[in-house]
Structure 1
Amino acid sequence: MVVNQVRWRPPIYGSYKLNTDTSLDISSQQIGLGMVIQDQDGNMMGSSAQKVKTNSTPKAAEACAILRGLTFAFVTGLLLVLVKSDALEVVNMIKSGKEISAEIGLFVGDIQELLLCNSGCLISYVSKKMNVVAHNISKLALSIDEDCYLLESYPPCVERTIVLISLFLVLWFAFNKKKSHR
Protein backbone atom coordinates (compact mmCIF):
# COMPACT_ATOMS: atom_id res chain seq x y z
CA MET A 1 0.00 0.00 0.00
CA VAL A 2 1.34 3.43 -0.97
CA VAL A 3 0.66 6.26 1.44
CA ASN A 4 1.01 9.85 0.29
CA GLN A 5 2.87 11.75 2.96
CA VAL A 6 1.68 15.27 3.48
CA ARG A 7 4.25 17.40 5.24
CA TRP A 8 4.45 21.08 6.04
CA ARG A 9 7.65 22.69 4.80
CA PRO A 10 8.84 25.88 6.46
CA PRO A 11 10.31 28.83 4.58
CA ILE A 12 13.97 29.66 5.22
CA TYR A 13 14.80 31.39 8.50
CA GLY A 14 13.84 35.06 8.60
CA SER A 15 11.41 34.89 5.69
CA TYR A 16 7.77 34.04 5.20
CA LYS A 17 5.39 31.82 3.27
CA LEU A 18 1.99 32.90 1.92
CA ASN A 19 -0.89 30.48 1.33
CA THR A 20 -4.04 31.65 -0.48
CA ASP A 21 -7.39 30.14 -1.39
CA THR A 22 -10.91 31.07 -2.42
CA SER A 23 -14.47 30.02 -1.73
CA LEU A 24 -17.30 30.84 -4.10
CA ASP A 25 -20.93 31.61 -3.31
CA ILE A 26 -22.56 31.31 -6.71
CA SER A 27 -26.02 32.42 -5.54
CA SER A 28 -24.77 35.81 -4.28
CA GLN A 29 -21.95 36.09 -6.86
CA GLN A 30 -19.42 36.59 -4.08
CA ILE A 31 -15.95 35.21 -3.63
CA GLY A 32 -14.27 34.74 -0.27
CA LEU A 33 -10.51 35.24 -0.34
CA GLY A 34 -8.35 33.69 2.37
CA MET A 35 -4.67 34.27 2.95
CA VAL A 36 -2.24 33.35 5.68
CA ILE A 37 1.43 34.27 6.14
CA GLN A 38 3.64 32.01 8.29
CA ASP A 39 7.25 32.13 9.46
CA GLN A 40 9.76 29.26 9.58
CA ASP A 41 8.26 27.93 12.83
CA GLY A 42 4.69 27.92 11.52
CA ASN A 43 3.73 31.02 13.52
CA MET A 44 0.99 33.15 12.01
CA MET A 45 2.49 36.47 10.99
CA GLY A 46 -0.59 37.70 9.17
CA SER A 47 -3.95 36.60 7.87
CA SER A 48 -6.72 38.19 5.90
CA ALA A 49 -10.31 37.41 4.95
CA GLN A 50 -11.73 39.46 2.10
CA LYS A 51 -15.03 39.33 0.23
CA VAL A 52 -15.41 40.38 -3.40
CA LYS A 53 -18.69 40.70 -5.28
CA THR A 54 -17.99 39.48 -8.79
CA ASN A 55 -18.99 37.08 -11.51
CA SER A 56 -15.38 36.11 -12.21
CA THR A 57 -14.25 32.67 -13.22
CA PRO A 58 -12.82 30.40 -10.49
CA LYS A 59 -9.33 30.80 -12.02
CA ALA A 60 -9.61 34.59 -11.94
CA ALA A 61 -10.78 34.38 -8.32
CA GLU A 62 -7.74 32.27 -7.36
CA ALA A 63 -5.45 34.72 -9.15
CA CYS A 64 -7.15 37.60 -7.31
CA ALA A 65 -6.47 35.86 -3.97
CA ILE A 66 -2.78 35.45 -4.84
CA LEU A 67 -2.50 39.09 -5.93
CA ARG A 68 -4.21 40.38 -2.79
CA GLY A 69 -2.07 38.10 -0.60
CA LEU A 70 1.11 39.40 -2.21
CA THR A 71 -0.12 42.97 -1.78
CA PHE A 72 -0.94 42.31 1.90
CA ALA A 73 2.56 40.91 2.51
CA PHE A 74 4.19 43.79 0.62
CA VAL A 75 2.26 46.46 2.57
CA THR A 76 3.08 44.84 5.93
CA GLY A 77 6.77 44.52 5.05
CA LEU A 78 6.91 40.73 5.33
CA LEU A 79 9.58 39.31 3.01
CA LEU A 80 8.05 36.38 1.18
CA VAL A 81 10.12 33.59 -0.30
CA LEU A 82 7.26 31.28 -1.18
CA VAL A 83 3.65 31.65 -2.34
CA LYS A 84 1.44 28.55 -2.29
CA SER A 85 -1.91 27.98 -3.98
CA ASP A 86 -4.00 24.89 -4.66
CA ALA A 87 -5.01 26.31 -8.08
CA LEU A 88 -2.56 24.36 -10.25
CA GLU A 89 -3.56 25.94 -13.58
CA VAL A 90 -3.21 29.45 -12.17
CA VAL A 91 0.18 28.65 -10.64
CA ASN A 92 1.34 27.27 -14.00
CA MET A 93 0.11 30.39 -15.83
CA ILE A 94 2.05 32.62 -13.44
CA LYS A 95 5.21 30.50 -13.70
CA SER A 96 5.05 30.35 -17.51
CA GLY A 97 5.89 34.03 -17.87
CA LYS A 98 3.74 34.15 -21.00
CA GLU A 99 1.32 36.96 -21.69
CA ILE A 100 -2.21 35.81 -21.01
CA SER A 101 -5.28 37.46 -22.47
CA ALA A 102 -8.72 37.81 -20.94
CA GLU A 103 -9.70 38.64 -17.39
CA ILE A 104 -7.15 36.43 -15.65
CA GLY A 105 -4.28 37.96 -17.63
CA LEU A 106 -4.60 41.24 -15.72
CA PHE A 107 -4.15 39.43 -12.41
CA VAL A 108 -1.32 37.24 -13.69
CA GLY A 109 0.64 40.22 -15.02
CA ASP A 110 0.36 42.06 -11.70
CA ILE A 111 1.35 38.93 -9.77
CA GLN A 112 4.42 38.45 -11.97
CA GLU A 113 5.42 42.08 -11.35
CA LEU A 114 5.09 41.69 -7.56
CA LEU A 115 7.09 38.47 -7.63
CA LEU A 116 9.85 40.30 -9.52
CA CYS A 117 9.81 43.12 -6.93
CA ASN A 118 10.18 40.50 -4.20
CA SER A 119 13.30 38.92 -5.73
CA GLY A 120 13.79 35.32 -4.82
CA CYS A 121 10.08 34.74 -4.18
CA LEU A 122 8.72 31.60 -5.84
CA ILE A 123 5.19 30.41 -6.43
CA SER A 124 4.22 26.76 -6.28
CA TYR A 125 1.28 24.42 -6.10
CA VAL A 126 0.16 22.96 -2.78
CA SER A 127 -2.45 20.25 -2.29
CA LYS A 128 -5.84 21.15 -0.83
CA LYS A 129 -4.90 19.06 2.24
CA MET A 130 -2.02 21.42 2.96
CA ASN A 131 -4.06 24.57 2.30
CA VAL A 132 -6.80 24.07 4.90
CA VAL A 133 -6.12 27.23 6.92
CA ALA A 134 -6.30 29.53 3.88
CA HIS A 135 -9.42 27.68 2.69
CA ASN A 136 -11.19 28.03 6.04
CA ILE A 137 -10.38 31.75 6.10
CA SER A 138 -11.83 32.08 2.58
CA LYS A 139 -15.06 30.45 3.79
CA LEU A 140 -15.16 32.87 6.72
CA ALA A 141 -14.74 35.77 4.29
CA LEU A 142 -18.12 35.00 2.74
CA SER A 143 -19.82 35.73 6.08
CA ILE A 144 -18.15 39.04 6.98
CA ASP A 145 -19.27 42.57 6.14
CA GLU A 146 -15.81 44.17 6.02
CA ASP A 147 -12.42 42.87 4.97
CA CYS A 148 -10.37 41.58 7.90
CA TYR A 149 -6.60 42.03 8.23
CA LEU A 150 -4.81 40.50 11.22
CA LEU A 151 -1.12 40.72 12.09
CA GLU A 152 0.47 37.94 14.15
CA SER A 153 -2.98 36.44 14.53
CA TYR A 154 -5.70 34.45 12.80
CA PRO A 155 -9.51 34.28 12.88
CA PRO A 156 -11.06 32.03 15.56
CA CYS A 157 -12.54 29.75 12.87
CA VAL A 158 -9.09 28.28 12.14
CA GLU A 159 -7.86 27.97 15.73
CA ARG A 160 -8.44 24.20 15.94
CA THR A 161 -6.55 23.63 12.68
CA ILE A 162 -3.67 25.83 13.86
CA VAL A 163 -3.43 23.94 17.16
CA LEU A 164 -3.35 20.60 15.32
CA ILE A 165 -0.67 21.83 12.91
CA SER A 166 1.40 23.19 15.81
CA LEU A 167 1.13 19.88 17.67
CA PHE A 168 2.16 18.01 14.53
CA LEU A 169 5.19 20.30 14.07
CA VAL A 170 6.33 19.82 17.67
CA LEU A 171 6.08 16.05 17.34
CA TRP A 172 7.73 16.06 13.91
CA PHE A 173 10.68 18.19 15.08
CA ALA A 174 11.09 16.02 18.22
CA PHE A 175 11.01 12.82 16.15
CA ASN A 176 13.53 14.12 13.61
CA LYS A 177 15.85 15.44 16.33
CA LYS A 178 15.77 12.07 18.08
CA LYS A 179 16.28 10.29 14.75
CA SER A 180 19.33 12.44 13.86
CA HIS A 181 21.05 11.60 17.17
CA ARG A 182 20.99 7.87 16.47
Structure 2
Amino acid sequence: MRGDVMGCSSQSTITNFSPQIAEAYAILRGIRFAMDAGLLPAEVEPDAKTIVYLIIADAPPLAEVGIVISDIIHICKHYNIWVLFTPRCANMVAHNLAKVMPAEDLFYLEEYPPYVESFVLDDKAM
Protein backbone atom coordinates (compact mmCIF):
# COMPACT_ATOMS: atom_id res chain seq x y z
CA MET A 1 0.00 0.00 0.00
CA ARG A 2 1.37 3.40 -0.93
CA GLY A 3 2.96 5.19 2.00
CA ASP A 4 3.33 2.08 4.15
CA VAL A 5 6.74 1.47 5.67
CA MET A 6 7.82 -2.08 4.84
CA GLY A 7 11.20 -1.72 6.49
CA CYS A 8 13.79 0.88 7.33
CA SER A 9 17.18 1.14 8.89
CA SER A 10 19.40 3.79 10.32
CA GLN A 11 23.03 2.77 10.26
CA SER A 12 26.09 4.53 11.56
CA THR A 13 29.34 4.79 9.67
CA ILE A 14 32.57 6.47 10.57
CA THR A 15 34.10 7.47 7.26
CA ASN A 16 35.21 10.43 5.25
CA PHE A 17 33.32 9.59 2.06
CA SER A 18 32.56 12.27 -0.48
CA PRO A 19 28.85 13.18 -0.54
CA GLN A 20 28.36 11.17 -3.78
CA ILE A 21 29.98 8.04 -2.37
CA ALA A 22 28.02 8.42 0.87
CA GLU A 23 24.73 8.66 -1.08
CA ALA A 24 25.61 5.66 -3.27
CA TYR A 25 26.74 3.64 -0.25
CA ALA A 26 23.49 4.44 1.59
CA ILE A 27 21.51 3.17 -1.42
CA LEU A 28 23.62 -0.01 -1.52
CA ARG A 29 23.11 -0.63 2.21
CA GLY A 30 19.37 -0.06 1.81
CA ILE A 31 19.22 -2.57 -1.04
CA ARG A 32 21.12 -5.14 1.01
CA PHE A 33 18.73 -4.58 3.91
CA ALA A 34 15.73 -5.15 1.62
CA MET A 35 17.32 -8.36 0.35
CA ASP A 36 18.13 -9.63 3.85
CA ALA A 37 14.60 -8.81 5.05
CA GLY A 38 12.97 -10.60 2.11
CA LEU A 39 11.41 -7.39 0.78
CA LEU A 40 11.86 -8.29 -2.88
CA PRO A 41 10.92 -7.24 -5.45
CA ALA A 42 11.78 -3.77 -4.22
CA GLU A 43 11.56 -0.19 -5.35
CA VAL A 44 14.22 2.07 -3.83
CA GLU A 45 13.39 5.79 -3.90
CA PRO A 46 16.40 7.95 -2.97
CA ASP A 47 16.54 11.71 -3.43
CA ALA A 48 20.13 11.64 -4.75
CA LYS A 49 19.31 12.61 -8.34
CA THR A 50 22.84 12.36 -9.76
CA ILE A 51 23.45 8.92 -8.26
CA VAL A 52 20.05 7.62 -9.37
CA TYR A 53 20.65 8.78 -12.94
CA LEU A 54 24.06 7.07 -13.00
CA ILE A 55 22.39 3.84 -11.83
CA ILE A 56 19.55 4.10 -14.35
CA ALA A 57 21.98 4.90 -17.19
CA ASP A 58 23.83 1.66 -16.38
CA ALA A 59 27.07 3.54 -16.94
CA PRO A 60 29.09 3.83 -13.74
CA PRO A 61 31.76 6.52 -13.91
CA LEU A 62 35.44 5.72 -13.57
CA ALA A 63 35.61 7.78 -10.38
CA GLU A 64 35.54 6.06 -6.97
CA VAL A 65 31.75 6.30 -6.77
CA GLY A 66 31.60 4.09 -9.86
CA ILE A 67 32.66 1.05 -7.80
CA VAL A 68 29.62 1.38 -5.54
CA ILE A 69 27.32 2.17 -8.46
CA SER A 70 28.56 -0.94 -10.31
CA ASP A 71 27.63 -3.05 -7.27
CA ILE A 72 24.17 -1.46 -7.16
CA ILE A 73 23.57 -2.05 -10.87
CA HIS A 74 24.67 -5.68 -10.62
CA ILE A 75 22.40 -6.41 -7.64
CA CYS A 76 19.41 -4.62 -9.18
CA LYS A 77 19.68 -6.58 -12.41
CA HIS A 78 19.74 -9.92 -10.61
CA TYR A 79 17.20 -9.37 -7.82
CA ASN A 80 14.17 -7.49 -9.19
CA ILE A 81 15.10 -4.13 -7.67
CA TRP A 82 14.31 -0.74 -9.23
CA VAL A 83 15.93 2.54 -8.26
CA LEU A 84 13.78 5.60 -8.97
CA PHE A 85 14.51 9.23 -8.14
CA THR A 86 12.07 10.66 -5.64
CA PRO A 87 12.26 14.33 -4.60
CA ARG A 88 13.01 14.85 -0.93
CA CYS A 89 9.64 16.51 -0.37
CA ALA A 90 7.93 13.27 -1.46
CA ASN A 91 9.82 11.07 1.01
CA MET A 92 10.53 12.95 4.20
CA VAL A 93 10.71 9.68 6.16
CA ALA A 94 13.93 8.67 4.41
CA HIS A 95 15.34 12.18 4.65
CA ASN A 96 14.74 12.38 8.40
CA LEU A 97 16.08 8.87 9.01
CA ALA A 98 19.27 9.92 7.23
CA LYS A 99 19.67 13.01 9.42
CA VAL A 100 19.92 10.98 12.64
CA MET A 101 23.24 9.33 13.40
CA PRO A 102 22.46 6.43 15.73
CA ALA A 103 24.96 5.07 18.24
CA GLU A 104 24.20 1.62 16.84
CA ASP A 105 22.66 0.19 13.69
CA LEU A 106 18.86 0.08 13.89
CA PHE A 107 16.63 -2.09 11.70
CA TYR A 108 12.83 -2.06 11.55
CA LEU A 109 10.38 -4.33 9.72
CA GLU A 110 6.83 -3.03 9.19
CA GLU A 111 7.48 -0.33 11.78
CA TYR A 112 9.68 2.71 12.20
CA PRO A 113 11.31 4.81 14.93
CA PRO A 114 8.97 7.23 16.72
CA TYR A 115 10.84 10.33 15.53
CA VAL A 116 9.64 9.78 11.93
CA GLU A 117 5.99 8.96 12.69
CA SER A 118 4.68 12.39 11.69
CA PHE A 119 6.52 12.12 8.35
CA VAL A 120 5.05 8.64 7.72
CA LEU A 121 1.57 10.03 8.30
CA ASP A 122 2.30 12.99 6.00
CA ASP A 123 3.56 10.65 3.23
CA LYS A 124 0.44 8.49 3.55
CA ALA A 125 -1.78 11.57 3.21
CA MET A 126 -0.24 12.51 -0.17
- Please confirm whether the aligned pair reaches a TM-score higher than 0.5, indicating the same fold: yes
**Paired residue secondary structure (1:85):** coil
Q: CA deviation at 1:81?
A: 3.9
**Aligned partner letter, 1:150:** Y
Q: What are the ranges of 5 or more consecutive residues in structure 1 without an aligned counterpart?
A: 1-39, 170-182
4+ aligned runs moved over 3 Å, structure 1: none
Compared CA separation, residues 41 and 89, structure 1 to 2 (3 A): closer
1:124 aligned partner? 84
Opposite residue 124 of structure 1, the aligned amino acid is L
In structure 1, give the amino acid aligned to 2:94: A
The alpha-carbon deviation at position 57 of structure 1 amounts to 0.9
1:86 is matched with 47
Q: Alpha-carbon deviations, 1:57-110, whole Å to 9, x = none?
A: 111111011100100000111113422111111111111212422321111011
Q: Hey, what's the Cα distance between the residues in 2 that align with 1:117 and 1:134?
A: 25
**1:124 Cα deviation (Å)?**
1.6
**Greater helix fraction, Structure 1 or Structure 2:** 2
Q: How many equivalent pairs are there? A: 126
Letter in 1 for 2:119: T
Deviation string, structure 1 residues 24-74 (Cα, Å, up to 9, x no partner):
xxxxxxxxxxxxxxxx24221111001111111111111011100100000
Distance across 1 between alignment mates of 2:116 and 2:60: 36
> Highest relative contact order (Cα 8 Å, sep 6+), 1 or 2?
2
Percent of residue pairs bearing the same amino acid type:
37
Looking at CA atoms only, which structure, 1 or 2, has the larger radius of gyration? Answer: 1
**Structure 2: 5+ residue stretches without partners:** none
- Among 22, 27, 46, the alignment partner of 1:66 is 27
Larger CA deviation: 147-156 vs 77-86? 77-86
- Tell me if 1:46 matches 2:46: no
Correspondence for 1:114: 75
> Is the 2:91–2:123 contact (alpha carbons within 8 Å) kept by the matching residues of 1?
no
Question: Equivalents in 1 of 2:83, 2:53: separation in Å?
Answer: 9
Distance 1:106 1:164, change over 3 A: same
More strand by share: 1
1:115 partner amino acid = C
TM-score, normalisation: structure 2: 0.91
Greater Cα offset, 78-87 or 54-63: 78-87
One-letter code of the match for 2:99? K
Distance 1:42 1:80 in 2: 17
